Amino acid sequence: YEVEGLENIPTQGPVLIIFYHGALPIDFYYLFAKIWLYRNRRVRVVADKFVFKIPGLASLLEALEIQPSTLAICKLMLEEGHILAIAPGGVREALFGDQNYHLIWKERKGFAKLAIDAKVPIIPMFTKKCREAVRAMTLGR
């Protein structure tokens, strides 16, 4: 795999990474590992609040220090100077997206307001062919 634009990740200070949530989001695992190795920074991640209600998964998320995606938590992470990664499409995009990479964000624009209010840069992330790693289920076709 290849990561382009790693030099755009600051070595300090808050930044918001926005990524497409593929069914198997291995692309952001690789990016986050590269950021750790070459920028010596940890990327903080948030997840939809409902996944914390799934038995067993909540414990794993807590162990990985993944937080519920509330505006207050996201704002705090940026105020503390962290790199924060958000996939606005979340689980819905992961399960029902297709190989055309249509974003399934609906009205999820809070990340943009968060970045504007916190005065932090947004770094978009895109991985070519990550959607093809796992085929999305289509019903009624």
Max CA pair span of the chain = 49
Q: State both tokens at 88.
A: 């606005």
CA distance 32 to 43: 6
Is 21 in the active site?
yes
Give the H or E element holding residue 109: none
Q: Indicate if the alpha-carbon torsion angle 113, 114, 115, 120 is positive or negative.
A: positive
| Catalytic annotation, pick one of 14, 15, 21, 130 | 21
- Say if residues 13 and 84 touch (Cβ distance below 8 Å): no
Which of 133, 137, 135, 115 shows the shortest CA–CA distance to 30?
A: 133
- Catalytic positions are 21
